[in-house]
Every structure is written in structure tokens, then in C-alpha cells.
Amino acid sequence: MLRRVIAVSSLALALCACSQSLQPPGDAGVCYYLASIQGTKGQFNVVARGVPDMEHCAADLEAMRIRFLNLGGGRSQIAGSYQGAFLFLQDEGVFTSSSFTGVRYPFLVRTGDGRLAAPGSAPSQ
């Protein structure tokens, strides 16, 4: 029983160490798209420079995602980063996290017409 607990604990520790090794770039004002993950390394492509805040980065990533979908791309969910934080664009909206596999918090949600807005900013009907 103790061996099984130690083995499970070792596996969990190894998975945590592996997931924490993917770090987003921390360059100020640069919005990145996470193009691919090769093992524990990510290929981050620059989407825009001189981006004033995370909302503008999310908007740039959303515009890129829509352009790719209009060109026939099949990826409706993408990831990016802004100043050391991950951004995850999904059908429900944009989520953020400090780690790639960590808890994702709502950052922007989709309104009834598909636009992105801060949670709680849209008037209830």
C-alpha cells in the first residue's frame, strides 16, 4: 500500500514538474500565439508588439483565430500569452492562467451576439 502511494505521489510530482516547465514569454507589451508544444518547450509566435494590456492581446488573438477559421482552419480553440500569463480562447470566451495546465479563470465572456466582454459587464435581460 505504501509503495502504491509513493508511486502515485512520484507520478504526480513528475507531472507537476513537467507542466510547470512550459513558461510563457514575459516581454512587456508583446502578444504571443502558442503555435505548438514540443515536449516541454512551446513555440510562441509574435502576434503584435506595443500592446497596452491583456484585453487588447485577447482581441488580437481573437481576430487571428477568426481569420484562420474564415480561411478554412479547423482550430476553434487557441492559446497565447501576454506578459507571462497564458490566454486560452474558447467558444465560451477567453480564460487566463499563470500556468498552461493550471486553473483557468474567466477573463472575457461571449455576449449573445458572439462579441467578447468583461464578465458581468453586459446588462441582464
Instruction: Please give the torsion angle defined by the CA atoms of residues 59, 62, 68 and 72, in that order, rounded to the nearest 10 degrees.
Output: -140
Average pLDDT over every residue of 89-106: 94
Q: Which residue has the cell 492562467?
A: 97
Give CA–CA dist 77/17, Å, rounded: 25
User: What pLDDT, on the 0 to 100 scale, is given for residue 40?
Assistant: 77
* Residue pair 46/35 in contact by the 8 Å Cβ criterion: no
| Grid cell in block for residue 21 | 516547465
Cell 490566454 found at: 87
CA 47 to chain centre: 14
Query: What digits encode the pLDDT tens for the residues 42-67?
Result: 999 999 999 999 999 999 999 999 99
Q: What is the pLDDT of residue 4?
A: 42
Cα dist. 29→4, 46, 47, 50 in Å? 47, 11, 11, 5
* Pairing mode, strands 105-110 and 85-90: unpaired
